Structure 1
Amino acid sequence: MDYCRKQLKSDCEQLLSRFQQSDSVRFEVFSEIWREMKFSHIFYGTLSSERRAFSQQVLDSACSFFLPPFTFQIRVGGLYLLYSLFHSQTAEPREPIRLALKDWEEVKKFEVDAAEAQHLDAVYILRQLLHRKAFYFTAMPGPLFFRVKRKTERLPLCESFMERASRPQELFSVDLLEELSNVHEHYERLKTSISSSAGEPDPSVNLIRRDLLPQLRNTVLDFHKWQKQKTAPCEADADGGEGTSAQQESSRRAELLASIKSKSYGQAVEASKARRHRQVEVESAGHDSGPSGSASLGDNRKLSLKARTDENMQLRGKMWKETVSSTSLCHLTTLDSVPEDAPRKFMKFKW
């Protein structure tokens, strides 16, 4: 289904561009555009064997507009698009929406922002999807294949849908900074001249910032750095599709795996229940074979299996003979202790 990714993306962009022109985030406006474009017919014409794969491809294409770095209005339109596509698909049972666990935080932030701005349509639609278990939480944004190198073509993002993140950098140019510095110096000279002519120092002179331009420049640079750190995970997801590539997260995973391995290797290996009785027998055999003269204490060589078996059989044979002889002697002594000429006592029968 990779051959239709471009067409699906262009159709979704056309729908969302019309929704962007309406300057609204209401679901009623989106549903009117949906019916005018007859967007539910996108599932018609597919074979029965391709319904599930095509539905999954459509939902994946629409889910990309629900996540950053797009504007809030486009993300709301992406949410409405997911809701409409999920209920109008022809696959039975319905194909769920794949959502990576790392993107769940962005979804929760979106819900909080929509609730604070009183956009109850978006909050209701999101909770309806959660209530109907439309999301399928996965470890990775896309499916992984064993020993298959798949390089999906990266489609360019629509710039009109993205937030104007570079607006502060565009406002503060070199010419503007020079003009600000000149105005600030002129204002400072006027203040000082007025205070000196009046004879008394004006307290408003102390309100002038001596380092206004350096502070302004450092603030813009800090914002630009924070912006890069925020947008870097999104670009990494679009390239590889295997989660965020931040160094902190990778180091945490490596430390977690190392701790798990150290704990597993540090534990003592216990014998299974089926082999524990064999250890007892070997140990008992070793203790029994110690007093015998076959193996000296100073000899470090181990006996063979046959020699140990013969030795154990001999020991067990000796023990068996001793027990038999002791029991026979006991029985004989008890029998011999009764004399033959002893009179037998009979009890008289009473009528």
Structure 2
Amino acid sequence: MESYRKPVKSDCEALLSRFQQTQSVRFEVFSNIWKEMKFVHIFRQSHNKRAFCRLVLDVAYCYFMPPFSFQIRVGGLYLLYSFYHCQTTSPPEQIRVALKDWEDVRNFEKESLDAQHLDVAYILQQLMTCKAFLFTAMPTLLHYSRKRTEEKPELCDEFMERPCRPQELINTQLSEEMSNIHELYKNTKASISSQMSTAAAASVSLIRGGIVLELCSAVMEFYNWQQNRVSFPHLITFNPY
């Protein structure tokens, strides 16, 4: 059954790639792509249907988890929802959710609601309502005395969440606050230095003078490099030194 994993993964990534190009998280958009690619026929194979359904859900599940971008995770959720309701097994094969992943699921739901992506929250709630999730210790089924041969799956770089922590940390509000603190430091230093000898005053320097501008400049440089890397991934290299 593992021989089906790569073809299923390839098909899922083809669908998610098309979904990503729409720059949308609407279920209607996903559904149109699903229908165009005739994904419903994926369960037409007749050999060991339950094992195949388990494999398909397992493949889709990985796109619902970090470190993929929010849109790809939405696509992963829609894949799980569609696969779950289109499978031909009875009773339906449930979606295995490792307990360690549940916090990520709840955070994803909160992020969706905060951004008013109500169809995303609705689809997730529908899966919960119909008890589609099976909470387990491990995301995949383990077998006793079976040698584990599968390789670590390769992650699609185009689906990954781009790091944005520097931009989040060094924002306008923080820059203004740092500038105010820096100005207060300079005034305090000037007041103290006026009462000290020239040599002693010169030694009172605990921070760099242009630290705020340097930080903002570094963040902007990183952002520009990041944008260029996305636009020209094969042409741009980054040398931090």
> TM-score scaled by structure 2?
0.69
Instruction: Name the larger-Rg structure.
Output: 1
Counterpart in the other structure of 2:24 = 24
Q: Tell me, yes or no, if the aligned pair for 1:20 and 1:74 is still in contact at 8 Å.
A: yes
- Structure 1 segments of 4 or more deviating over 4 A? 166-169
Partner deviation per Cα, 1:42-81 (whole Å, 9 max, x = no partner): 000222xx00000000000000000000000000011011
Counterpart in the other structure of 2:211 = 212
AA partner of residue 126 (structure 2): Q
Counterpart in the other structure of 2:125 = 127
Query: Post-superposition shift, 1:8?
Result: 0.6
Q: Tell me, yes or no, if the aligned pair for 1:55 and 1:89 is still in contact at 8 Å.
A: yes
Query: Post-superposition shift, 1:144?
Result: 2.0
Counterpart in the other structure of 1:108 = 106
Residue 136 of structure 1, aligned match among 134, 150, 155: 134
**Alignment partners' CA distance in 2, 1:166 and 1:151:** 36
1:106-185 matches, cutoff 5 A: 106-165=104-163
Is the alpha carbon distance of 1:130 and 1:209 closer, same or farther for their aligned partners in structure 2, counting shifts above 3 Å? same
Query: Post-superposition shift, 1:163?
Result: 1.1
Counterpart in the other structure of 1:38 = 38
1:23-102 matches, cutoff 5 A: 23-47=23-47, 50-102=48-100
> TM-score scaled by structure 1?
0.48
**Alignment partners' CA distance in 2, 1:26 and 1:166:** 24
Q: Tell me, yes or no, if the aligned pair for 1:114 and 1:120 is still in contact at 8 Å.
A: yes
Q: Which runs of 5+ in 1 are unaligned?
A: 170-207, 221-351
1:251-330 matches, cutoff 5 A: none
Q: Secondary structure at the match of 1:66?
A: coil
Q: Which has the higher contact order (CA 8 A, sep 6+)?
A: 2
Partner deviation per Cα, 1:224-253 (whole Å, 9 max, x = no partner): xxxxxxxxxxxxxxxxxxxxxxxxxxxxxx
Q: Secondary structure at the match of 2:97?
A: strand
Q: Which runs of 5+ in 2 are unaligned?
A: 168-206, 220-241
Is the alpha carbon distance of 1:110 and 1:166 closer, same or farther for their aligned partners in structure 2, counting shifts above 3 Å? closer
**Alignment partners' CA distance in 2, 1:214 and 1:117:** 32
Q: Secondary structure at the match of 1:53?
A: helix
Q: Secondary structure at the match of 1:153?
A: coil
Partner deviation per Cα, 1:295-318 (whole Å, 9 max, x = no partner): xxxxxxxxxxxxxxxxxxxxxxxx
Partner deviation per Cα, 1:78-97 (whole Å, 9 max, x = no partner): 10111000000011110000
**Alignment partners' CA distance in 2, 1:65 and 1:113:** 17
Q: Secondary structure at the match of 1:4?
A: helix
Counterpart in the other structure of 1:3 = 3
**Alignment partners' CA distance in 2, 1:216 and 1:31:** 44
| Aligned alpha-carbon RMSD (Å) | 2.5
Query: Post-superposition shift, 1:214?
Result: 10
**Alignment partners' CA distance in 1, 2:61 and 2:51:** 15
* Aligned pairs, number: 180
